Amino acid sequence: MLTETLKALSDPVRRQILEMLKKGSRNAGQIASCFQISDAAISRHLSVLKNADLIRSWREGKFIYYELNTSVLDEVLLWTRNLKGDENEQPEQSVLPAVKTSSRH
């Protein structure tokens, strides 16, 4: 899931859509009206965000509404914190097996 999330976040249009949805749910038409790209392109961006579980959708009549799902960001934050490391933590044991060295000189 982390790969899909990072891929989805890599596009500036998708990040703008997430910023919009941070302020509240919107239907697809409201989202599309804020961009000068085709409805098909917006639909593709929404599909990528939905597949990455960054947004949720539901239908009301003829409209599809979208809202932000921030729970998936916890995995991204955990990964980046582990990658960065914490100065106060002891280094963890390596998960790689020890490399045998030759005793020849």
Q: Where are the domains of the chain?
A: 2-75
The answer for residues whose C-beta is within 8 angstroms of residue 69's C-beta and 6 or more apart is 53, 54, 55, 56
- Asked if 50 and 57 touch (Cβ cutoff 8 Å), the reply is yes
Strand 26-27 and strand 55-60: the pairing is: unpaired
Which of 39-43, 58-62, 72-76, 99-103 shows the lowest per-residue confidence on average (mean pLDDT)? 99-103
- Give first-to-last CA distance, the chain, whole Å: 48
pLDDT grade, residue 94 (50/70/90)?
very low
Which helix (DSSP H) or strand (DSSP E) does residue 67 occupy? strand 63-68
Confidence grade of residue 86 (pLDDT, cut at 50, 70, 90): low
Computed over every residue of the chain, the mean pLDDT equals: 87
pTM (2 d.p.):
0.77
Average pLDDT over residues 66-90: 85
- More reliable by pLDDT, 90 or 12: 12
Give the pLDDT score at 83.
92
Under CATH, to which class is 2-75 assigned?
Answer: mainly alpha
pLDDT of residue 89: 55
pLDDT at 17: 99
